[in-house]
């Protein structure tokens, strides 16, 4: 079951009748809209809210159905609970892949070292800090050297076959799952110097390392999910268990790991902010395209100078309104059990 944060409420007002209506509405939509809503999770959340939280019933019911769409997210429930009980926002800093290979190594990004002092200055403003890191096995599917040697097969649908491929080209690999794959130099190999965080990046007392890209057959740009949405890191659960409502994302590279981490954070219902001075991209055109894609998904881009004031915000009502406007379908799963997750359709 989802481990929802224990938000306080002195005036519980949710009745069993309304909880039952909430549960029935969720089940009804899951059956009629071909959107699978996990009944046991819905019942668990309804019972948890009834017993512990006392969020206003009408708000919870509104959260379940927005213009006929199923819009269930444990993050949304947590936000509504916070709004009802007067809790403040909880911010987390996600530092993406500030590793040697992306700054001075085999896949160095132009001006990559420039993000480090900006991140170091922001860090002390956050209670929760997560550092993602590529942590690849030697036979990883993203390495051109492996695809060139046909260690990983390319699909018959791929315009370029592995033996004929060149560095930085995109092929379709068989996986599983079958996906488009950009071919990179060997980088961030487990235990290597290139996989270590840059020496000038501060170690914060409250930081947690989140490794990704450990599966041989699928790459992982996002700090949350692999590129095929077949497996996840612990990041989402850690954010949820700490009651995080807003995330600030920074690091390398804008057009790949930073961008996809921000997109996943937004689709999971977190208010997502990216810091302009604390990101660098592989290529200007793909970076600009990713920024546009993120903005379309509701991700905000701000100056690092705004962070001290940003993390002092307390009112969660704006975040609730923002999530109401998303109007996306979510399949609810027990993420702790590593069950299949169906991402919202863009």
* Active site residue ranges: 97, 212, 257
Strand order of the sheet with strand 207-212? 207-212, 128-134, 91-96, 246-252, 271-280, 300-302
Is there a cis peptide before residue 176, judged by omega within 30 degrees of 0?
A: yes
Identify which of 16, 28, 59, 23 has the alpha carbon closest to the alpha carbon of residue 42.
23
What are the structure tokens assigned to 129, written together? 């800090």
- Give, in degrees to the nearest 5, the angle at Cα 202 between 200 and 207: 145
- 114, 257, 264, 298 from 287: Cα distances, Å: 16, 11, 17, 17
Pairing state between β 246-252 and 91-96: parallel
Which residues are within 8 A (CB) of 203 and not within 5 positions of it... i.e. 6 or more apart? none
């Amino acid at each position: 079951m989802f481990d929802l944060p224990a938000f306080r409420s002195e005036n519980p007002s949710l009745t069993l009748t309304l909880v039952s209506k909430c549960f029935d509405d969720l089940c009804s939509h899951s059956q009629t809209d071909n959107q699978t809503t996990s009944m046991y999770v819905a019942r668990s959340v309804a019972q948890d809210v009834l017993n512990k939280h006392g969020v206003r019933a009408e708000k919870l019911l509104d959260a379940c159905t927005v213009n006929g769409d199923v819009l269930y997210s444990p993050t949304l429930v947590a936000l509504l609970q916070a709004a009802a009980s007067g809790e403040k926002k909880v911010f987390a800093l996600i530092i993406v892949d500030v590793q040697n290979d992306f700054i001075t190594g085999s896949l160095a990004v132009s001006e990559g070292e420039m993000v480090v002092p900006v991140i170091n200055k922001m860090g002390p403003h956050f209670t929760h800090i997560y550092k993602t890191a590529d942590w690849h096995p030697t036979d990883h599917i993203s390495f051109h050297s492996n695809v060139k040697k046909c260690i990983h097969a390319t699909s018959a649908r791929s315009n370029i076959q592995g033996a004929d491929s060149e560095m930085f080209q995109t092929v379709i690999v068989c996986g599983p799952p079958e996906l488009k794959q950009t071919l990179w130099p060997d980088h961030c190999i487990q235990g290597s110097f290139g996989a270590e965080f840059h020496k000038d990046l501060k170690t914060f007392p409250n930081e947690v390392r989140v490794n990704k890209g450990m599966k041989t057959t699928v790459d992982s740009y996002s700090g949350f999910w692999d590129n095929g949405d077949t497996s996840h890191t612990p990041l989402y659960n850690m954010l949820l268990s700490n009651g995080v409502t807003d995330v600030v994302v920074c690091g390398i590279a804008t057009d790949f790991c930073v961008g996809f981490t921000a997109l996943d954070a937004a689709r999971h219902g977190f208010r997502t902010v990216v810091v302009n001075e604390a990101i660098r991209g592989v290529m200007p055109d793909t970076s600009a395209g990713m920024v546009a894609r993120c903005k379309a998904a509701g991700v905000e881009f701000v100056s690092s100078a705004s962070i001290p004031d940003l993390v002092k915000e307390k009112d969660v009502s704006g975040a609730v309104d923002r999530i109401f406007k998303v109007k996306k379908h979510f399949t609810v799963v027990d993420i702790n059990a590593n069950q299949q997750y169906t991402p919202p359709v863009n």
